[in-house]
Amino acid sequence: MLPGGISITDNSKNTVILIFIAYNFNMFRLLVLLILLSVQVMASEPEAKKIFILGDSLTEGYGVSKEEAFPQQLNKLLEKVYGTKYQVVSAGISGSTTASGFKRLQWITKAKPFLIVLALGANDGLRGLPIEATKNNLVKMLSYLKEQKVKVVLAGMKVPPNYGKDYSKEFDNIWTDLKKNYSVELIPFLLESVAGERGMNQEDGIHPNAKGHKVIAENIFKVLKEHL
């Protein structure tokens, strides 16, 4: 009995061989067709647009797992609304200030990002670095992204009140001035509803816990969705 229920009633070996070859050839053609269709479907699916978050230990997710950190939380929020259209890429390095941002940005743009969330400046403020230096570093990055025609969202930062009213006010003005002068979209304060909230932070009182990271992701998403 041949495959397909064909009975061997002819003693001719040639006939049997021809039937067997024809059957298998048709199966082979069907297999090739299925493979080609699968490849065509995969090729038709567009590559996810990359959204990079350039930041420091907040972006890196210091003290929490990768899944709990806000970049991954943001990715989940985007997937719920847009499916796999966008992919969030974390580019956070602990201890980073705005001084290191430009060089890192040059590497990131090689990956052809759709949008970059610029989330640097927190360490500048915590270290009490000169306001003008921080602002100039951010200006350099924003100017570069404009030249590269890459969308950017700026994440505003604040310093604790114990740094003095003058320094705090000047630091706050960095972000509002950049929004005004460079027509950049601004998240007023990245850590809104997280900073200073006991249940949202780790024991050091600086780095958010998992709950805090979830709120940060929501803060970014509220602004980000208007530009997707």
User: Does 177 participate in catalysis according to the annotation?
Assistant: no
Q: Which of 7, 44, 166, 204 is catalytic?
A: 204
Nearest-angstrom CA–CA distance, 146 and 113: 13
Please confirm, yes or no, whether 204 is among the known catalytic residues: yes
Q: Which of 57, 94, 100, 168 is catalytic?
A: 57
**What burial class does residue 1 get, using C-beta atoms within 10 Å of its C-beta: 0-12 exposed, 13-18 middle, 19+ buried?**
exposed
- Decide if 56 is catalytic: no
Rounded CA gap, 118 and 141, in Å? 9
CA distance 173 to 59: 23
- Active-site pick, 56, 90, 96, 207: 207
CA–CA separation, 127 vs 143, rounded Å?
25
Q: Of 190, 182, 191, nearest to 135 (Cα)? A: 182
DSSP per-residue string spanning 32-83: HHHHHHHHHHHHHSPPPEEEEEEESHHHHTTTS-TTTSHHHHHHHHHHHHHT
Distance CA 169, CA 2 (A): 87
- Give every CB contact of residue 214 below 8 A, 6+ residues apart in sequence: 70, 73
Would you please indicate which residues are annotated as catalytic (active-site) residues? 57, 204, 207
